[in-house]
């Protein structure tokens, strides 16, 4: 049969029309789930079933008039084969449990936008799945979204909602930015003031830091430890790894406000500091003392308990990253071992002025303050490694050298990722100029709080995570890519939705699909598929940016942004 182009996002490797017509799903269509497919069975019964009024009574492996789920060890772990054939019903086979789950996401799209609702809008209607054979697997292992819940807190229900949105787009890593100058969002039982004091600020800058406007309503919130356990478990059911970020040694004023001894007390009166209420690079950084090290070791001990690594997967300390086609590869088990420690935007002025910091530099025989930060980061890289975990940080952690086994989030362009890969470190490509979703989507004056470069849907679709200058061996160090949703100017769910969608759908296709070179990508075809995908987003209640521009209630007239004119640098 000739290939066809259903409106699937992200685009699968191959789709063939198996026969005319399709297979009808009715309330009595049986479901059989083979060993290892329990997460998908539960998702079908809890999500797809209620949306369409499907009861999914139990079936058998030989059922030919229903839906069957099974593992197939001839497929790569995240690969799947969705076959809808006359007289054989629907079968989803995956190389691993994740593959079966991604196949179920494709099935949902084939069933139309009603499948994305919470309850039936057409009770009793028969749903027909077109006779298709879809064979698919991801290009990259790390397909992520970073949510910044520190600048503006996102309640737990919002995080769970975004995990569902990620799953619908076959994204598998939530980078969870939990701490910053403007708020500490995770309960640490041994240090209760981190949330009692550090999770609330008295007011908030409205717009860019140069804006004269303020919101004088106190802002804050945090996740209890049981909230975190719930988020991690909910993500795991959707084959999403949650990578927590505890930002050190910069972006730490909320922690210092709660525990002033963590700051450079010989330089500044840290007892007078409060949780920061504006944006930008903060001069108040952690002191490089044993007190600080022991404090954050205590923090991380609780973090490791709340974000457990899956012990059944392959070692994340392999000398080279496992191939996505390796039978032993499990993206969830690998990436759940990571802990992000930030490491970005740490001004050294206080360390230069601090006798304590200068003595530490002298005692360690270090060259300068950059080397001191490298020592600080290296301490936690070793501490995590001793506990079977793996450090990842922003590309500044390369300064002064990086511990073996540590990985890099390349945000200041491609250069950090290239340097890290050439030095033998794994890399997640997320350059600010291309996939920071707080950046504006159009140059028009109606764009709300314009930040950074214009990054349209097409710009994101043509983003290429692997720099051309890398050798094939070094390119193998690129684990994948993620979009970063910083929240300085996204104060609620609707604003986050507007900045993230529809561009996250484009990033998902870049991360998943085997696309040609950027200039050769069929953006017109992607737009045609997005016309159908917008109806799915509508059903999910996503307040995305419409193709024609912001709706009246999505604008923010008079709120100052920080637009940057011109095209962003490519490297």
Give residue-wise pLDDT tens across range 303-348: 999 999 973 333 333 333 333 333 233 444 479 999 999 999 999 9
CB atoms within 10 A of CB 570: 11
Q: State the catalytic residue, choosing from 239, 251, 340, 425.
A: 251
| DSSP-H helix ranges across 423-522 | 432-435, 457-461, 472-475, 493-500, 503-512
CA 559 to CA 440: how far, in whole Å? 14
Q: Which two tokens stand for residue 231?
A: 């988020």
Q: Catalytic: which of 237, 345, 442, 538?
A: 345
Q: Of 332, 376, 358, 289, which Cα lies nearest the Cα of 142?
A: 332
Q: What is the pLDDT of residue 404?
A: 86
The torsion defined by the Cα of 414, 376, 272 and 355, in degrees rounded to 10, comes to -120
Q: Residue 541 contacts by C-beta under 8 Å, 6 or more apart in sequence?
A: none
Residue 280 is encoded by which pair of tokens? 């930008």
β pairing state of 214-215 and 204-205 = antiparallel
SS3 134: strand
CB 179 within 8 A of CB 247: yes
Give the C-alpha separation, 477 to 169, whole Å: 24
Q: Is 180 labeled as catalytic in the residue annotation?
A: yes
Residue among 180, 432, 447, 459 flagged as catalytic: 180
Q: Which helix (DSSP H) or strand (DSSP E) does residue 381 occupy?
A: helix 369-386
Give Cα 418 to chain centroid, integer Å: 21
How does the average pLDDT of the chain come out, rounded?
94
pLDDT, tens only, 263-288: 999 999 999 999 999 999 999 999 99
What confidence score (pLDDT) does residue 130 get? 95
pLDDT value of position 5? 57
Who contacts 226 (Cβ-Cβ below 8 Å, separation ≥6)?
none
> CB neighbours of 11 closer than 8 A, spacing ≥ 6?
509, 512, 513, 515, 526, 529
Percentage of the chain lying above the pLDDT 70 cut = 95
Q: Which two tokens stand for residue 353?
A: 């002025």
Closest CA to 529 of 84, 173, 169, 90: 169
Active site residue 251: yes
What is the chain's alpha carbon radius of gyration, rounded to the nearest angstrom? 24
**pTM value surpassing 0.75:** yes
Give average pLDDT by consecutive 10-residue segment, the chain, 571 residues: 68 96 95 98 98 96 94 97 96 98 98 97 92 98 98 98 98 98 98 98 96 97 98 97 98 98 98 98 98 98 95 34 35 80 97 98 97 96 96 95 92 96 97 97 96 97 97 97 98 98 98 98 98 98 98 96 90 69
């Amino acid at each position: 049969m000739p290939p066809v182009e259903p409106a699937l996002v992200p685009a699968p490797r191959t789709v063939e029309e198996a026969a005319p017509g399709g297979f009808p799903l009715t309330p009595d269509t049986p479901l059989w789930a083979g060993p290892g497919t329990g997460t998908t069975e539960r998702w079908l019964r809890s999500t797809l079933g209620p949306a369409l009024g499907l009861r999914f009574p139990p079936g058998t492996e030989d059922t030919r008039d229903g839906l069957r789920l099974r593992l197939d060890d001839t497929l790569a772990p995240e690969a799947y084969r969705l076959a809808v054939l006359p007289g054989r019903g629907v079968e989803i086979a995956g190389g691993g449990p994740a593959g079966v789950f991604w196949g179920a996401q494709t099935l949902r799209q084939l069933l139309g936008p009603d499948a994305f609702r919470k309850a039936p809008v057409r009770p009793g209607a028969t749903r027909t799945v077109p006779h298709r054979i879809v064979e698919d697997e991801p290009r990259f292992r790390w397909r992520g979204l970073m949510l910044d819940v520190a600048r503006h807190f996102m309640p737990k229900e919002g995080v769970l909602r975004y995990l569902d949105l990620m799953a619908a787009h076959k994204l598998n890593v939530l980078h969870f930015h939990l701490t910053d100058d403007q708020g500490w969002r995770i309960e640490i039982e041994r240090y209760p003031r981190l949330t009692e004091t550090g999770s609330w600020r008295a007011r908030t800058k409205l717009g860019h830091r140069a804006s004269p406007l303020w919101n004088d309503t106190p802002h804050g919130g945090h996740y209890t430890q049981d909230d975190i356990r719930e988020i991690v478990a909910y993500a795991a059911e959707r084959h999403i790894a949650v990578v927590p970020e505890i930002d050190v040694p910069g972006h730490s004023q909320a922690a210092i406000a709660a525990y002033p001894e963590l700051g450079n007390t010989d330089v500044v009166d840290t007892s007078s500091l409060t949780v920061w209420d504006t944006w930008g690079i903060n001069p108040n950084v952690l002191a490089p003392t044993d007190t600080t090290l022991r404090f954050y070791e205590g923090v991380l001990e609780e973090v490791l308990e709340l974000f457990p690594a899956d012990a059944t997967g392959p070692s994340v300390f392999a000398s080279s990253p496992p191939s996505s086609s390796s039978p032993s590869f499990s993206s969830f088990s690998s990436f759940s071992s990571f802990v992000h420690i930030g490491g970005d935007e740490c001004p050294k002025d206080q360390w230069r002025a601090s006798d304590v910091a200068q003595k530490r530099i002298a005692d360690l025989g270090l060259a300068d303050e950059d080397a001191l930060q490298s020592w600080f980061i290296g301490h936690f890289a070793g501490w995590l490694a001793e506990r079977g975990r793996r450090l990842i940080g922003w590309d500044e952690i390369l300064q002064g050298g990086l511990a073996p086994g540590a990985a890099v989030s390349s945000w200041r362009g491609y250069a950090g990722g290239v340097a890290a890969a050439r030095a033998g470190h794994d890399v997640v490509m997320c350059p600010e100029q291309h996939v920071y979703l707080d950046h504006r989507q159009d140059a028009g004056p109606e764009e709300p709080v314009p930040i950074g470069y214009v990054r349209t849907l097409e710009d994101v679709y043509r983003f290429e995570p692997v720099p051309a200058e890398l050798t094939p061996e070094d390119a193998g160090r690129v684990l994948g890519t993620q979009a970063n949703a910083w929240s300085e100017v996204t104060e609620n769910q609707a604003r986050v939705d507007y900045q993230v969608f529809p561009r996250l759908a484009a990033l998902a296709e870049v991360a998943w699909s085997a696309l040609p070179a950027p200039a050769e990508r069929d953006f017109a075809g992607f737009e045609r598929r997005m016309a159908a995908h917008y109806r799915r987003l509508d059903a999910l209640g996503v307040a995305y940016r419409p193709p024609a521009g912001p709706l009246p209630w999505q604008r923010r007239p008079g709120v100052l942004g920080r637009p940057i004119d011109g095209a962003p640098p490519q490297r």
